[in-house]
Structure 1
Amino acid sequence: MDIRLLIDKGRASPIGALVLLLALAAGLLFFRLGVPGLMDPDEGRYAEIAREMWVRGDWITPYLNQVKYLEKPPLVYWLTSLSLAALGKTETAARLVPALCALGGTLAVYGLGRVMFDPKAAVMAATVLLTSIGYVIMGRLLTLDMPLTCFLTWGIGLAYLALSRDRRAYLPWAYLSLALALLTKGLVALVLPGLIFGAWALARRDGQMLLRLWHLRGLLILLLVGLPWFVLVSLDNPEFLKYFFFQEHLERYLTSYSHHGEPVYYFVGILALGLLPWSFLLPWGLGQSLRPKILIDRQDTLFLWLWAGVVLLFFSLSRAKLAPYILPALPPLALLLGKALNGAEQGSDPALNSCGITWSLLTWLILGLGMILIFLDPPAYWGQRIARLDFLSPYPLIGLIVLAATPALTLACRGWPRARWAMLLIGAVALNSTVILGMERVAGQRSGRALAQVINANWQPGEALIGYRVYLQSLEFYTGQDFFLYNIKGELKFGSQHTPGVDLFLEQPEALQKLVQHRPRVYLLVQDKDWPEVQNLFPQQFQVLSVWRKGLLVANQ
């Protein structure tokens, strides 16, 4: 689509803008959504929880491998269960919720941009978000982070507009959005907005502002939507409150309990990667955002800075760090960058825009060319790391070429602002296309779908599926069979201790040998390092059915 079709005397047509965003979403979020197999551990875990929820008919207590799984609230499980029930047990059905939430978050940014800035800046902000590789990747994976980001964006954005534009009718909707975020990932859905608005009130030296967030109907909505599940699950599972709030929230944040420790600067690099290709323009865009000309612009800019900054600081201080945690910082950064790009296209400050964006594009080009050279002729330090990407060939090289070509072609369009913006957008779409194709290769390495096809083709009643010190959640989803686990519990440890009557966990070799003897056939998933041990326990009993990236799928005669 020609971006100029959106432009009409300096304004963006709402219909044209929505058509553009929906077209981009169709290509980047929904096209080939079901092609890759569900990847372990996250996608396999959440899909299997949703499948077991539907099969058991228990919508209060989530289960994974027949034991309680109380780490997260159930909203994504509920929605995914309904999607699987409606569309079948397919990858598209499993990933539909995050894809729709990615689109919902994009529309929230577009709406905020129209109110905060102008329609063209809104289009640019929404397209920046929708074509950032971190956003696209997370929109195509079944995890909780994209739904959380969507609901937080709507909740924080509507609450801000209610205060800054005196539109208190938005507050009930803001509270509803935060209630949905609470049901997605827990207390972080309330802590982050509280810190953001607290920081804004402190920066403005206006403590009364927080009182204006009070809205009785909105609070009732939050309690009626967000609270009942917590009450019901606590009544059914007395161990829930301590485990969920203390171990899964406080201990995960304050201690190394979850074993995901990273340095304090970890999310700065992750944020730069997640915003690609736009992160090359982010320093310039943030600098532009510090030059607002009217009071309301200064208020909006300050809030967006605080929004992104609080998210970055909050997760940087956590002892547990995983890359997707930083996703809620992308919407405010996209709004700031969209505003800057709109100003550059309109030439509101020609001298500054020309110099600033030109130097940013030149830096982008130089770094892109440097990455191509390193990829083609890597120094010793990078050689082994790049070699690990061989299975993705040729997509890494194509992506780097696109990354370097985008600023070069954009610089060639100097003097044609609309063509320059269109070139940036085309480059971002092309880069994301290579990422999507690369994800399909990654899924081939990290999904249990191919193994499940082997098992399903041979499965007979009474047989057993066993993981020998390994657990692939997606294998359980695709086969629909209980997974006996030998000498491993991992994330199932708490559930195995609080779910009576489940005999799927084998601790001693004798228990494993007894199971093998009493079943007509067993399928054993084993890592390469453990295969000699299996051969010693069961001499000449197992034959190899298939190979996976870490080991073998074997079965007895």
Structure 2
Amino acid sequence: MQSFQLAKRLKLPLLILTLIFYFYGLGRLPLLGSDEPRYAEVAREMLARNELITPTLGGHTWFEKPALMYWMMMAFFRLFGVNEWSARAPSALGGVMTILLLYWMVRRVEKNEDEGLAVWSAAALATSAGCIVFSHAASSDMILTMTVTAALASLFASEIERDAKRRRLLLLGFHAAVGLSLLAKGLVGVVIPYGVAGSYFILRRERPSRETLLSLIWGAPVSLLVAGVWYAPVIARHGWTFIDQFFIQHHFSRFVSNKYHHPQRFYFYLPILLMLLVPWTLFLIISLIGARRWDFHEDSPHARLRVFSLAWLVLPVLFFSLSVSKLPAYILPVLPAAAVLVGERLKNFMEGEDRNWIMRATGALLFLLAVFGIQYVARTHVVSWSCALVVVAPLVAAGLLSLIAPRLRKLCVVSCGAVLFLVPALLVNCDMTKVASRDSVRDLLQAATAKGYGAAPLFQLHEAERSSEYYAAGRLAYGQDGEPLRLEDVSYVESEAGARGTILVLVPSKFSYQLYQSPKIITQEIGDNGAFALYAVRAR
């Protein structure tokens, strides 16, 4: 009863805070890494050409990802302008929708009972580090998580639905969402839903119902029809080029080879999963340890939900563990399943069924994160000490509270969740913009524009800096292979400056001296972000 009353009071505030937090600060930082700038630029180019079929980057076809992410970015660009906030908003929307879909699925299990499990599961997902981080990044990962959650939530709801008409509608929703998953990230959008469904029935040692099996006959065409909105015209237009680049190179080669340079150990995803679930890591571990006592054949909706969540958690982790190429975001679609298992333990804890040590261990985890944060700042000096202390203060407070007073269960649980909302908000309002500038050329190019070089073509010397593909769009030189042109030595800079007049040259800071040593060019420094330096160069 205590869990139900608190969950009921938290439901509306949690929804409001999630909506605010997930869309807050999306535009404060520049687009970072190699993916965010490129995905945003593809969407911008498609919008500029009023193109819905062929993704391009720098005018060259770009078949790394399907179209759903680009379509969502284009919609936000049209509504709110072409900027960092709009590029990241689709992921934030995907995160919020995933949380709501999870709540809807678990609530169907509880029906007329109290809604404690639904609220605690949604809260665990909303306040997990993985969901928060990837909902604030311009990528397809949270969008795939949303569509996979829609598919699996519909499938599970059909399993516990007694009304035949509603059951068919839910199965229709499953197959339609599989089609959307194909549009979100390709073939993995089929592998995860069908793999989880198969694993669920294997774990329960039962056959799918006749209606579920028959739905494959009419459901597969539904999935293909939804996905075919993009796949059919893009294959018709580009043929083998698309099939080779999209399916063979970015699907099969990525899975079986190290072509894209992301090799990891087989067990790589085990620690990654634990990190994605912070601060609820210990609750997940306890839930998985307790799985050995489950009755996998029990027919109640709650028992089915446990087994379904376990299958949803294990299958994708095992599948991607077999892949040669591994990235943390690959297993993001398992977070809703993990949140259900965590939510059940949180509900039990609030009702006094679990001992206080689990909250003490969670407090210790938060306190250790604060200590590691301080050590990192002391070693790297990436932010000021005042900023670091402000950011770690909530971690220390929540950690100490959970360590010292775990009997204050309501306060401890709420504070541990709230700290995952508060810390990122403090980060984006502190020194993170300065830190992020090292991984982006946005500020350097803005400085160049202020000095009158806003139209000068941009060349890169020795190394390619990926954020330039967005921030220097239309001015960045590309090679015939569709990759940003990298000049091998200063002689090429001399040649381009002689042919084009004043140019901008982006060079790793450690190689800046090479430009000054050339007697054939005049070099003016625009700025240096610590990783790359930008120069205006013209021939003597």
Letter in 2 for 1:265: Y
Where does residue 526 of structure 2 map in the other structure?
A: 545
Q: Structure 2 vs 1, CA of residues 375 and 69 (structure 1 numbering), >3 Å: closer, same or farther?
A: closer
Letter in 2 for 1:345: M
Is 1:518 aligned to residue 522 of structure 2?
A: no
2:43, 2:73 within 8 Å by CA — same for their partners in 1? yes
Letter in 2 for 1:219: A
Partner secondary structure for residue 467 of structure 2: helix
- CA shift, 1:7, in A, is 5.3
1:49, 1:64 within 8 Å by CA — same for their partners in 2? yes
Where does residue 191 of structure 2 map in the other structure?
A: 191
Q: Structure 2 vs 1, CA of residues 512 and 441 (structure 1 numbering), >3 Å: closer, same or farther?
A: closer
CA distances 1:4-32 after superposition (whole Å, capped 9, x unpaired): 9x955x8737xx62x32332223421122
- CA shift, 1:142, in A, is 0.4
Partner secondary structure for residue 444 of structure 2: helix
- CA shift, 1:375, in A, is 6.2
Q: Structure 2 vs 1, CA of residues 27 and 436 (structure 1 numbering), >3 Å: closer, same or farther?
A: farther
Gap runs ≥5 in structure 1: 497-502
Is 1:59 aligned to residue 52 of structure 2?
A: yes
Partner secondary structure for residue 525 of structure 1: strand
Q: Structure 2 vs 1, CA of residues 370 and 159 (structure 1 numbering), >3 Å: closer, same or farther?
A: closer
TM-score, structure 2 as length reference: 0.87
Where does residue 126 of structure 1 map in the other structure?
A: 122
Where does residue 433 of structure 1 map in the other structure?
A: 425
Partner secondary structure for residue 137 of structure 2: coil
CA RMSD of aligned residues (A): 3.0
Distance 2:421 2:455 in 1: 50
Identity of matched residues, %: 27
Is 1:113 aligned to residue 106 of structure 2?
A: yes
Q: Pairwise mapping of residues 288-437 of structure 1 onto structure 2 (< 5 A)?
A: 295-296=299-300, 297-347=302-352, 349=353, 353=354, 355=355, 358-369=356-367, 387-388=379-380, 390-391=382-383, 393=385, 400-410=392-402, 413-434=405-426, 436-437=428-429
1:260, 1:319 within 8 Å by CA — same for their partners in 2? yes
CA distances 1:406-463 after superposition (whole Å, capped 9, x unpaired): 2432355555543343333333333443455575454232222202212333456863
Where does residue 221 of structure 2 map in the other structure?
A: 220
Q: Which moved more, 1:418-427 or 1:260-269?
A: 418-427
Distance 1:303 1:183 in 2: 24
Distance 2:405 2:58 in 1: 56
- CA shift, 1:480, in A, is 3.7
1:39, 1:448 within 8 Å by CA — same for their partners in 2? no
Q: Structure 2 vs 1, CA of residues 227 and 53 (structure 1 numbering), >3 Å: closer, same or farther?
A: same
Aligned mate of 1:457, from 443, 450, 455: 450
Distance 1:389 1:512 in 2: 35
Letter in 1 for 2:92: A
1:129, 1:331 within 8 Å by CA — same for their partners in 2? yes
Gap runs ≥5 in structure 2: none
TM-score, structure 1 as length reference: 0.85
Distance 1:387 1:528 in 2: 21
1:484, 1:506 within 8 Å by CA — same for their partners in 2? no
Partner secondary structure for residue 383 of structure 2: helix
Where does residue 260 of structure 1 map in the other structure?
A: 262
Is 1:23 aligned to residue 47 of structure 2?
A: no
- CA shift, 1:328, in A, is 1.0
Where does residue 174 of structure 1 map in the other structure?
A: 174
Is 1:150 aligned to residue 123 of structure 2?
A: no
Is 1:89 aligned to residue 111 of structure 2?
A: no
Q: Which moved more, 1:140-149 or 1:54-63?
A: 54-63
Q: Structure 2 vs 1, CA of residues 506 and 372 (structure 1 numbering), >3 Å: closer, same or farther?
A: closer
Distance 1:428 1:151 in 2: 24
Distance 1:146 1:309 in 2: 19
Aligned length: 524
1:259, 1:320 within 8 Å by CA — same for their partners in 2? yes
Partner secondary structure for residue 512 of structure 2: helix
2:91, 2:139 within 8 Å by CA — same for their partners in 1? yes
